[in-house]
Amino acid sequence: MELVRIFSFSYVLPKQFKGCILVFEYSYFLLQKNGDASNTLDLAVKEYQTSGTQATVVNALQRAIKEHSNNNYSALMQVTVDIIVNNCMCK
């Protein structure tokens, strides 16, 4: 059962969505900083794509899925949260 859940987790995280949490978090940061919501999400996506964060996150998630494919679902979830926290863009 756990292996099915881990496979499902990797399946529902297509490449283009793996950084959504980081982009939304950075959008919130930009909104608080600039107060202008008109292009906040566009700016956050562009920064995510050009800063190297996207490549770092995709590589880290791929490694985590490989390393924890035999572990339980909660270990993979914790690693995923750690990846998100470690790659926060509003530092």
Residue 18: which pLDDT band, with cuts at 50, 70 and 90?
Answer: low
Q: Average pLDDT in the 65-84 region?
A: 81
Q: Is the pLDDT of residue 79 over 60?
A: yes
> Tens digits of per-residue pLDDT, 38-47?
888 888 888 8
Q: Which of 16-20, 21-25, 28-32, 75-79 has the lowest mean pLDDT?
A: 16-20
User: Is 17:48 a contact under the CB 8 Å cutoff?
Assistant: no
Taking the C-alpha atoms of residue 77 and residue 79, their distance in angstroms, rounded to an integer, is 5
The residues spanned by each domain of the chain are 2-86
Amino acid present at 87: N
Predicted pLDDT at 71: 66
